[in-house]
Structure formats: C-alpha cells, structure tokens
Amino acid sequence: MSDLTNINFDTMTTAEFETYLPDLFATGGGKVSEDPRFAKFLAANPDCAALVSDLETIAEYAQSMFEEPVHEPSDTVWSNIASKLKEGVGGEEDGLNGTENLATE
Amino acid sequence: MGTQGVITMQPKPNSGLFKRNPPIAGEADAIERAKNGDPDAFSKLYALHKRRVYTLCLRMLGNVSEAEDMTQEAFLHLFRKLGSFRGESAFSTWLHRLTVNLVLMHLRKKGLQLVSLEETINPSEEDAPKRDFGSRDPQLAGSVDRVTLERAVASLPPGYRMVFVLHDVEGFEHNEIATMLECSTGNSKSQLHKARLKLRELLRQPEKLQPVEGLKEVAL
C-alpha cells in the first residue's frame, strides 16, 4: 500500500490521490472529507470530492445493513436444528472437523 | 460547483455513533439458561440472532440454500460451544466471528483450500471497477435506498463482496480480515476500496440491478 509520509496533499495529482485513497480511508477513520489535510485538494478537484462523498456515503450506509438485517431464514432451519438437538447430534462434532477454535473471544 | 457526490441515500435509521452489538433484553439470562441445557432458552437465542446470522451467511455466500445450511451449522456449533462463552466480548460479536469462520471453512472445503484467498478473491478485469472518477449524474441524486444497496452488494464479485461485508457491514478491522482470509492487510484495504468503487458504479445504474431471488425479506 501507499506510503503516506512526505506527501504534499495540496499538490498531488488526481492519479496520485486515487492511488492513496484506500490508505487514506483506512487510516483516517473513514472520513477523508473531514480531514483538513485534503480540504484544499478536494476544493480544487470537485470530481474527487464527489468520489469521496459517494464512497463515504456507501460506507456509512453499510453500517445500517448490520443494524437492521433484512433477511430471515425459512422455518425449516430451526426445524432441522431442533431435530438434531433432539437426536443429540448437536453435542457432537458432526463433520465439522477442526472447528474447535472457531469460537474464540 | 459543489462537492457533493451523486449518491444521496435516504436518511440512515441510526446515523451518528456507530454502536454495534448493544445488549439485547433477555439475552444474558437466555445464555445462562441455555448453558444449563434449557431448550427454551436456546430457542430464544436462535430467535434473537437468526436474522443477523442468516443475513451474514447470505451476504457472504450469495446463495439461499447454502446460507440456510450454514445458519444451521452455526447454531449447532453454538450449542456445542456455548459453555466456553465467558462474556469477555459481546455475545453477538462472538457468534458472528464463529459464523464467519464457519463460512470461510465451508468455502475452503468447496475448493479454495489449495490456493490462498488472496489469489482467488481477485475478480476478472471485466468485474473490476472502472479506473476513472466518473461524471456526476444529477438524475441519480436521491435515488438509492437500502434495498438498492442490498441488491448492489449482492451483485458484487465474491471477493469484493466478502471484504465489503466483513469490513463495512460487520465492522471487522483490516488486520482481522487479513487473518481470516489469509491475505495481507494491504490486500484487504485494496479489495475494500475496489468494492466501494464497484458499488458506486452499480448504484449509478440501479435499473440494471436484479432482485435477489429467493430472499425472504422481513418488514422493517
């Protein structure tokens, strides 16, 4: 990934900006538009500002996909689980070899 | 000219602080009772978490049948491992991590075991986002909503979708994703960025997005 030290964000090209963008989002708390280091560049490059705005919108809205899951499994799923638990299969490692460390805190 | 992007979504239901996994009423009691073998308590845990677990599986796998199978496996695994839950993290965080690992193990068993995910998650050039900023189309402003975003995510190439779901939806950090996917942190960042760029492209043409078949969407 990009080395963000020693970069002049005011004079970088749009191509350089595109190269740096994944790291800028990853290191800046996801809010490139609010980072004062980029204010001058974004003001001078409205297409870049629009891109940043859209990507931030997508990232922010993705959070609501977590908060309100919209899909629901069919009733068959619980029926199968309940049936397996009644059979005692739930207490065994039914074919899930190597899963001992899946549930770590 | 303003600097607003073309994608304006409807107001988020819970904008502001990104609070994940707040305590659920009755959950702690159900966990303790389920640990002691109370079947009703386990049933309650299933009712509380089935949507999130299933939705996570569906978003990662993109297939209803497989998602239901993995939901079943996740809860059976939960039943086996519930006694080891010590409450050091939120229960749902623990359950989601368990589910993600099960799904990834499932994917590796399907055929990804010989090649690292870093090599296999990269989509073809055709699926990759275009390398330009794109022009702003004012006709699209305000036209995107949650259902459209859900469809767009479902339309992503699997590798992009995986990283996007794990990072932007589930809230995992890049180093955690890198460990889970057996790739570099840089690759995780890069894939996420490409996923967002691709989503932007898709959301600019929502009329081309297909409904995701077989999904039983619940009322919000």
Q: For residue A97, is it within any domain?
A: no
**Enclosing H/E stretch for B100:** helix B91-107
Q: Are A51 and B201 in contact (CB under 8 A)?
A: no
Q: For residue A46, is it within any domain?
A: yes
Q: What is the pLDDT of residue B182?
A: 84
Domain residue spans of chain B: 27-112, 117-208
Which residues of chain A make contact with B217, given a CB cutoff of 8 A? 70-72
Per residue in A67-105, pLDDT tens?
A: 777 789 999 999 999 999 988 866 555 444 444 455 566
Q: For residue A19, is it within any domain?
A: yes
**Enclosing H/E stretch for A25:** helix A14-27
The encoded tokens of residue B71 equal 């939901």
Quote the CA–CA distance of B50 and A83 in Å, as a whole number. 17
- Per-residue pLDDT band at B33 (split at 50, 70, 90): very high
Task: Say if residue B165 is exposed, middle or buried (CB neighbours under 10 Å; 0-12, 13-18, 19+).
Answer: buried
Which residues of chain A make contact with B86, given a CB cutoff of 8 A? 105
Mean pLDDT of B179-207: 89
Q: Are A58 and B192 in contact (CB under 8 A)?
A: no
Instruction: For chain B, say whether A70 makes contact (Cβ under 8 Å).
Output: yes
Residue B2 CB coordination number (10 Å):
9
Interface test with chain B among A20, A25, A48, A63, by most B beta carbons within 10 Å:
A63
Quick check: B217 and A57 CB within 8 A? Answer: no
Quick check: A70 and B153 CB within 8 A? Answer: no
Nearest to A69 among B51, B76, B133 (CB): B51
Which CATH code for domain B27-112?
A: 1.10.1740.10
Q: Are B105 and A99 in contact (CB under 8 A)?
A: yes
Q: Are A17 and A45 in contact (CB under 8 A)?
A: yes
Instruction: Kindly tell me if the per-residue pLDDT of B127 is higher than 90.
Output: no
- Per-residue pLDDT band at B5 (split at 50, 70, 90): low
- Chain B: give the shortest CA distance to residue A30, in Å: 10
The radius of gyration of chain A from alpha carbons, rounded to an integer in Å, stands at 23
| ipTM of model over 0.90 | no
Quick check: A63 and B12 CB within 8 A? Answer: yes
Q: From start to end of B168-217, where are the E strands? A: none
Interface test with chain B among A53, A74, A81, A84, by most B beta carbons within 10 Å:
A81
Share of chain B above pLDDT 70, in %: 70
Quick check: A63 and B168 CB within 8 A? Answer: yes
Quick check: A65 and B1 CB within 8 A? Answer: no
Q: Find the residue in A nearest to B189 (Cα).
A: A22
Which residues of chain B make contact with A84, given a CB cutoff of 8 A? 72, 76
More confident residue, B52 or A67: B52
Q: For residue A103, is it within any domain?
A: no
Question: What is the domain count for chain A?
Answer: 1
CATH architecture, domain defined by B117-208:
Orthogonal Bundle (1.10)
Which residues of chain B make contact with A48, given a CB cutoff of 8 A? 133
Nearest to B13 among A1, A42, A67 (CB): A67
Per residue in B109-125, pLDDT tens?
A: 887 543 344 444 555 55
Domain coverage including residue A7: 1-90
